[in-house]
Structure 1
Amino acid sequence: MKDLSGWGRYPRLFGPLTTALTAASAARLTAAAPGVVARGLGRAYGDAAIGRDRTLAPAGLDRLQGFDPDTGLLRAEAAVSLDDILTTFVPRGFFPPVVPGTRFVTVGGMIASDVHGKNQHNDGTFGEHVEAFTLALPDGRTVRCARDQNTDLFHATIGGMGLTGTILDASFRLRRVDTGWIRQTTSVANNLSDAIGLLSRTSGATYTVAWIDVLARGAALGRSLILEGGHAARDELGPRQAPFPPARAGRVSVPFDMPSGLLNAKTVSAFNALYYRKGALRAGQTSLVPWDSYFFPLDGIARWNRIYGPRGFVQHQCVIPEERAEAVLSIILERLSQTGTGSFLAVLKRLRAGTGLMSFPMDGLTLALDIPVSERGLALLAEIDGLVSEAGGRLYLAKDACQSRETFEAGYPNIAAFHEVRRDAGALGHMSSKQSERLGL
C-alpha cells in the first residue's frame, strides 16, 4: 500500500499503485478492473488522483514523440513532465501556451485538470491549445480524440479529471519566444476594489495576477500587488544577460514537517506586511525576471508542503461571476481576517470561460487560498463554499479536498452531459477516484 495523498497531504489516503511502462500496458491495466484512475506526479492537492480501488501510474509514457519547429506542434506521451518540456524547449526559443503554478506536472495531468495560468484571461486554459490525444477506454480500446474526431470524448476529457479513460499521449502547440526573460511591472492596490480595477486595466498584458494580503483589515481590506508581465525581446536584455537563463539547479528543501502552529495569524500577518512593503517599493518599476522564478516561485523550495505541518493543508480555489465577485470576495476576506486564518499564498486573477465540458474557469474572478487543516479552518472553508455556491460560482476540482456534493452539483451545470459521455464510453463506474466517489461524479 502506497501513501497516495495529494500535494496538500489532506486527506491522508493509502492504496495500491500499479505502474504502466508502455501504452499497451496502460490500456490493459485501465481495462483490467473498475475503480481506477491515472496519477501523474501527484500534484493534485486533494483526492482527485487516487483511484477508488486502485491507482494507475503510466510512468513509462515519458517520451517526446515529435516536434515541428515551423509550427511549434509538439507530440508527447502523457507522463512527460512540464519540467522536461521547459528545459528542452525554452533554450530553443519555445514556451508552452499555458503553464500552471508548478512545472512538476505531466501532460496528461494538465489535460485532465485543464490547467490555467496567469494568461487565462487572454489565452484560455491548456485544453484550448490541445489539438488531439489518444485515450485508453475501459473496454481495452484506444481512440484518437480531436475537435473533429470523437468530439464528445475530447471535450469531456479536457477538465474531466481522468474519468473518461487514461490519456496516453497528446499534441499541442508551443509558442515562439525571443528570450527566457519576463518583463514584469508591479502595481499597488490599496484595497480590493482597487485590485479588481487594476486587474481589469492590465488585462491587455500577456500575464497578470494579484498577490493579495488576506489578513489586511478595514480600509486596507484586500490590499494587493498586481504583477503584469510579458515575454521580453532580445533588445531589452543587458549586454551580459544570457537570452535563455536555465532553470534553477539547486533547490532548498524543507527537511521535515514544520510544527502545526507555525503558520498562525501573527506569522502570516508579519510575512504579508513585509511582502507588501517590499512590493510597494517596486511600484511602477519594470524589471526582467527569469522564466523559472516568475512562473514557478515555489518550485525553488522542494517539499514546501511540509511547511503546513503533519496535518496538511487545503488549497481552495473558487471562481465567482463578475457581477457578484467584489461583494462576495469582500465577505470572504472579512471572514479570513476576523478568524485570523491567514494564507501567505493568496492569489487573485481574472478568468474567462473555459471550453471543456467540466472546465473550471468562468467569466469572473478567482481567489486561491492555502488553509492549514484544523477544525476551525475546515469549518471556515465550508462557510466560504456556501458563499461561492450562492453567488453562482464553483470550486476547482484539481485543488478540491473537502467540498460537499451539494456545492459541487450547484457549481457544475454540465454534470448530466458528462455522465452521458462517460456512460457511452463505458467509463461510468469504471474510471473512478476517491474524489468522484465523494462528489457522486
Structure 2
Amino acid sequence: MSTSEAVLRQSRFMTFDGAVSAVTAHQRPDRYRHLEADLGLRKRIARGAGLSYSAASFGEGVVVQEMTAFDRLLAFDESTRMLKVEAGATLERVLAWAHPRSLRLAVVPGYPRITIGGCIAADVHGKNPLRDGTFCDWVEALTIFHPARGFRSITHAADPEAFEAACGGFGLTGLIVDATLRLVPAGARNVKLEAHGSGSLAEAAERLQQAADSDFAYSWHDGTSRGARFGNGIVFIGRWTDERPSRSTRAYFAMSSAARARWPLSMWNRATVWAANSIYRHLATTGPARVQSAFDAEFPFARQTFYHRMYGRPGLAEMQLLVPQDRLPQFIERLAKVVADIDPPLVLMSMKRFAGRTHSLAMSGTGMLVALDLARSDATARFATAIDALALDMGAQPNAVKDSRLPAQVAAAALPHYARFRDRIHSLDPDRLYESELSRRLEL
C-alpha cells in the first residue's frame, strides 16, 4: 500500500502535562492493511488515548499512528479466563464486557479511556502494585507489527527478549496490534474504601506496609504541609464488597490534553492547595467507610476533573520515584528538606507500595512509589533538578512515562535496564523506525 492510501494529515499533539507539543503527520488506520502502508524509512510511533504525561506517542517529523479504531474484543476462553482484545480498546470497554460476567482486570490505572495498548506500552500500575504487580504481569501474549517482520505473535515463554522489550517499551519495538489478557474473578461489584487521616509521609508509609493484602492501598498528601507534619494526608484502604454504593454512578467528563489546559491560568497556589486538601480530608475521614462503585474506586479522577483542570494552560509537572524500602525514611527526610529549601508549588503527593522485578524502562521493582504533582514554574524546574540528584543518591527509580523532562543522563544512571533495553530495541528495530520525543530525549 502506498503512503497516500494511509491517509496522512497534519495534527497538533500535546502531552497531558502541557509541557511538550508538536505538529506532525497523523495516520488513523482502521484496517490492518493500513498498518502495512509503505512509509519508507519515515519514523513512526503508535498512539492510543493520548493521555501520557510524556511525549511517548508523538515527536517532530514522526508519523503518529493512532490505534483507537482497533477496539474489538476478539476472543474469550472461558476455561482459562483469557480475553484477546485489540490494542485500541479502552479499559472502560473491556470492563463493561467483563463485569457482567463477574470478571475484571487485575490491574487498572487511574483513567477509563486509556487503551490496552497504552497500558502495555507503559506497563501501568493500579491501586495495590505490592500484591497485584503491574499490567504486563497479566498479559499472556501480544501481536506486534513491524514492517521488516510483519505481524508476529509473541509470548514471554517463547520469546522473552521481545516480550519484555514490548512491555513497558513505549512502542519502540513496533505496533502493538492486540493482546491476550488474563482476567480474574470479580468476587464483588463495589469497593468499601476506608480513609484514614495520616499526620506525615512516614506515618502513611507504616500504614501502607500493614495493608499489603488489601485490594486498594494508596495515599494522598497535602503539598503545602511542612516541618513535622510534612505529608499530612489520607491513607485509603479498600476491599471489594457486595454492599451497595452510597451514591449512584454518574456520567463523567472525557478528559484530554486540550480540555485540561482550557483555563488560561493555574488556579493552584498555597491557599487553594491547602483549602482543597483540608476540605477533602475532612469529607473523606468523617463518618464510616464509604462504599463506591468499582468505576469510582478504580478511576477516582474520572469525575473529579477540577484537580487537573486547575493547573490550566501553564500545566503541571509530575515526578514519580520508586524508592528502596530500606532507604525510605532517609528519602522522606531529605525530600522534606528539598521542599523546604526551594518551596516549589507542590500540590499533591501520593504513595503506593510495589513488589516485583524490574524490566525494560517501566516503573517496576520493589519499594515505595512516591509521586509528586506540582504547578509548572521556575521553582518547579529547580526542584526537579534537585529531585534528580536525590534519586541518584538514594538509588530511586524515576518513572519515565510520567516525567516529560527526565534527562537522558539521569535515566541512564537511575533506570536499572536502560542500557540493556537500548540494546534490545536496536536489535529488534535496527533501522530505528519507531521513535518519539521521549525516545530522542532519553537518547534511546
TM-score by length of 2: 0.90
**How do 1:85-104 residues align onto structure 2 when only pairs under 5 Å count?**
85-104=94-113
**Equivalent residue for 2:47?**
39
Select between 361-370 and 167-176 the one with higher mean Cα deviation. 361-370
Structure 1 residue 381: Cα displacement? 1.2
Matched, 1:189 2:191: no
Instruction: Label 1:76 to 1:252 Cα distance change in 2 as closer, same or farther (>3 A).
Output: closer
C-alpha separation in 1, matches of 2:101 and 2:204: 36
C-alpha separation in 1, matches of 2:337 and 2:33: 53
| One-letter code aligned to 2:282 | R
Structure 1 residue 200: Cα displacement? 0.5
Structure 1 residue 195: Cα displacement? 1.0
**Equivalent residue for 2:5?**
none
C-alpha separation in 2, matches of 1:79 and 1:130: 15
**Equivalent residue for 1:113?**
122
Conserved in 2, the CA contact under 8 Å of 1:389 and 1:410?
A: yes
Structure 1 residue 72: Cα displacement? 1.9
| One-letter code aligned to 2:253 | R
C-alpha separation in 1, matches of 2:254 and 2:147: 42
- What's the secondary structure of 1:13's corresponding residue? strand
**Equivalent residue for 1:77?**
86
**How do 1:95-174 residues align onto structure 2 when only pairs under 5 Å count?**
95-174=104-183
**Equivalent residue for 2:3?**
none
**Equivalent residue for 1:322?**
325
Which of the numbers 344, 369, 374 marks the counterpart of 2:372?
369
Select between 263-272 and 7-16 the one with higher mean Cα deviation. 7-16
| One-letter code aligned to 2:56 | A
Conserved in 1, the CA contact under 8 Å of 2:120 and 2:136?
A: yes
Matched, 1:438 2:441: yes
| One-letter code aligned to 1:72 | R
**Equivalent residue for 1:312?**
315
Structure 1 residue 339: Cα displacement? 4.5
C-alpha separation in 2, matches of 1:73 and 1:298: 29
Instruction: Label 1:188 to 1:303 Cα distance change in 2 as closer, same or farther (>3 A).
Output: closer
Conserved in 1, the CA contact under 8 Å of 2:222 and 2:273?
A: no
| One-letter code aligned to 2:177 | L
Matched, 1:279 2:284: yes
Structure 1 residue 81: Cα displacement? 0.7
Alpha-carbon displacement from aligned partner over 1:392-422 (angstroms, at most 9, x marks no partner) = 1121122120011111011112222222322
Conserved in 2, the CA contact under 8 Å of 1:248 and 1:292?
A: no
Conserved in 1, the CA contact under 8 Å of 2:397 and 2:415?
A: yes
Alpha-carbon displacement from aligned partner over 1:22-49 (angstroms, at most 9, x marks no partner) = 23322446x6434211110001112111
Structure 1 residue 332: Cα displacement? 2.2
Structure 1 residue 89: Cα displacement? 1.8
C-alpha separation in 2, matches of 1:23 and 1:247: 37
Conserved in 1, the CA contact under 8 Å of 2:22 and 2:59?
A: no
C-alpha separation in 1, matches of 2:23 and 2:370: 30
Which of the numbers 226, 234, 246 marks the counterpart of 1:225?
234
Select between 126-135 and 363-372 the one with higher mean Cα deviation. 363-372
Conserved in 1, the CA contact under 8 Å of 2:358 and 2:416?
A: no
Instruction: Label 1:185 to 1:280 Cα distance change in 2 as closer, same or farther (>3 A).
Output: closer
- What's the secondary structure of 1:370's corresponding residue? strand
Q: How many residues align?
A: 431
Alpha-carbon displacement from aligned partner over 1:235-293 (angstroms, at most 9, x marks no partner) = xx25xx69xx98532539869733424211111122122222333434xx433111111
Instruction: Label 1:304 to 1:39 Cα distance change in 2 as closer, same or farther (>3 A).
Output: farther
Select between 68-77 and 164-173 the one with higher mean Cα deviation. 68-77
- What's the secondary structure of 1:155's corresponding residue? helix
Alpha-carbon displacement from aligned partner over 1:204-241 (angstroms, at most 9, x marks no partner) = 21220011122212221122211111211x4xx25xx6
Q: What's the % identity of the aligned pairs?
A: 25
C-alpha separation in 2, matches of 1:265 and 1:337: 14
C-alpha separation in 2, matches of 1:175 and 1:246: 25
Matched, 1:6 2:9: no
Instruction: Label 1:428 to 1:390 Cα distance change in 2 as closer, same or farther (>3 A).
Output: farther
C-alpha separation in 2, matches of 1:419 and 1:318: 21
- What's the secondary structure of 2:301's corresponding residue? helix
Conserved in 2, the CA contact under 8 Å of 1:34 and 1:432?
A: no
C-alpha separation in 1, matches of 2:102 and 2:207: 31
| One-letter code aligned to 1:260 | L
- What's the secondary structure of 1:297's corresponding residue? coil
Structure 1 residue 437: Cα displacement? 0.3
| One-letter code aligned to 2:76 | F
Matched, 1:401 2:404: yes
C-alpha separation in 2, matches of 1:337 and 1:81: 41
Aligned-pair Cα RMSD in Å? 2.4
Conserved in 1, the CA contact under 8 Å of 2:207 and 2:235?
A: yes
Matched, 1:379 2:382: yes
Instruction: Label 1:167 to 1:189 Cα distance change in 2 as closer, same or farther (>3 A).
Output: same
Gaps of 5+ in 1: none
C-alpha separation in 2, matches of 1:145 and 1:17: 27
Gaps of 5+ in 2: 1-9
Structure 1 residue 192: Cα displacement? 2.1
Structure 1 residue 362: Cα displacement? 2.2
C-alpha separation in 1, matches of 2:260 and 2:135: 33
